[in-house]
Amino acid sequence: MILFWIALIIIFILVVLILIPKATKPYADKANWGKGFYRLYVIFSTFLSICVGFVFYAEYDLFSGIVVGVILWVALILFGNFIGWLFKGFKK
């Protein structure tokens, strides 16, 4: 349970203190929300893949945990790129 709270604090620090101020620079004409949210998505998908890999590692073995974590990470990144591609296609 302590690992959950540590991870939550790290995500809070990344989102609130680092990425959101970089995404909304006052000297930029337009806020750069796209890159900031994509970075958050990559961090979230990496964290989720590592957690799922640890769960599989605890139940089965190390190789299964690594394989499942990598497959999940690649799937989440591809899904995020696909959603971004859809949003860019409908944006005029």
pLDDT, one tens digit per residue, over 43-83 is 888 888 888 888 777 778 888 888 888 888 899 888 888 88
What's the pLDDT at 61?
80
Q: What is the DSSP string of 32-89?
A: -HHHHHHHHHHHHHHHHHHHHHHHHHHHS-HHHHHHHHHHHHHHHHHHHHHHHHHHHH
3-state SS assignment for residue 91: coil
* pTM across the whole model: 0.57
Banded pLDDT at 22 (limits 50, 70, 90): low
Residue bearing the bigger pLDDT, 78 or 11? 78
Residue bearing the bigger pLDDT, 64 or 15? 64
Q: Is the pLDDT confidence value at 10 over 60?
A: yes
What's the pLDDT at 90?
74
What's the pLDDT at 45?
85
